[in-house]
């Protein structure tokens, strides 16, 4: 691991072990919500299924499900890949109806399967996110108004909350082969289905993705 990667690893490990004081006191709104992990990707750049990488003694997908559970989800779902065994994880598995359509197909499948009016979406390859950040996102939601974090690089659509009524928009995008999940989130903003949440500089690390082996931290992660 080079000096830059090691520095990033230390930063990520540190934030995984401690909550950011600025968001540690976010109030929890009485909103029942479903939550789903997007785990249906092929993990081509990683070379192995990212869901089953070990992080701090647990599988990455176990970590994400635990964080969603701790955030208060009343229903846990997995958007998974056909042929993969998720039976030990304690969550219902949903499969994309439209193959090879990227994460948006998983978002649409989770929205379709949700038993609540709100669905909290979390990509499996964002291990730095913590329940306190998820709670902050949810605190901006109501029954039919979700929340998408936004930073200087644009929207963060894979750690966001969408109302179940956004399913029709997701299906429409897929039908028109508009497969960009970023474009979907921006359109949801434009249609008033979600509102934006500005990410503070100290919160950016929460949205770090692991896409290739050099991103993977092998030590304890909190």
Of 169 and 25, the structure prediction assigns the larger pLDDT to: 169
What's the confidence (pLDDT) of residue 155?
96
Task: Report whether 157 contacts 185 (CB < 8 A).
Answer: yes
Over pLDDT 90: what percentage of the chain? 57
Interval 69-99: pLDDT, tens: 999 999 999 998 888 899 999 999 998 666 6
Domain 3-18+31-215, CATH number (from 3.90.550.10, 3.30.1330.20, 2.170.190.11, 1.10.10.10): 3.90.550.10
**Band (40; pLDDT cuts 50, 70, 90):** low
Inter-CA distances, 193 with 39, 81, 171, 190, Å: 24, 28, 15, 8
Task: Using alpha carbons, select from 181, 191, 190 the residue that is nearest to residue 160.
Answer: 181
**Band (143; pLDDT cuts 50, 70, 90):** confident
Instruction: Give the ranges where 96-146 is alpha helix by DSSP (H).
Output: 102-113, 131-138
Looking from the CA of 164 toward its CB, the CA atoms found within 13 Å total 12
**Band (53; pLDDT cuts 50, 70, 90):** confident
Residue at token pair 């921006």: 186
Of 6 and 40, the structure prediction assigns the larger pLDDT to: 40
Domain locations along the chain? 3-18+31-215
Continuous segment of H or E residues that includes residue 10: helix 3-17
């Amino acid at each position: 691991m080079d000096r830059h990667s090691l520095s990033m690893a230390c930063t990520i490990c540190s934030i995984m072990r401690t909550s950011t004081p600025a968001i540690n006191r976010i109030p929890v709104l009485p909103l029942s919500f479903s939550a789903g992990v997007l785990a249906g990707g092929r993990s081509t750049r990683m070379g192995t299924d990212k869901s089953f990488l070990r992080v701090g003694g647990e599988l990455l997908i176990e970590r994400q499900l635990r964080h969603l559970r701790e955030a208060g989800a009343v229903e846990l779902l997995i958007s998974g890949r056909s042929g993969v065994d998720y039976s030990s994880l304690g969550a219902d598995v949903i499969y994309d109806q439209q193959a090879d359509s990227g994460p948006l197909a998983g978002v649409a499948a989770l929205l379709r399967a949700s038993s609540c009016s709100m669905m909290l979406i979390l990509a499996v390859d964002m291990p730095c996110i913590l329940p306190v950040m998820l709670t902050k996102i949810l605190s901006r939601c109501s029954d039919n108004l979700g929340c998408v974090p936004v930073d200087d690089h644009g929207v963060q659509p894979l750690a966001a909350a969408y109302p179940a009524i956004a399913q029709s928009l997701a299906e429409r995008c897929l039908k028109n082969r508009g497969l960009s999940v970023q474009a979907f989130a921006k359109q949801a903003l434009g249609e008033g289905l979600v509102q934006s949440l500005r990410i503070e500089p100290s919160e950016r690390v929460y949205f770090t993705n692991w896409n290739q082996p050099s991103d993977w931290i092998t030590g304890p992660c909190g």
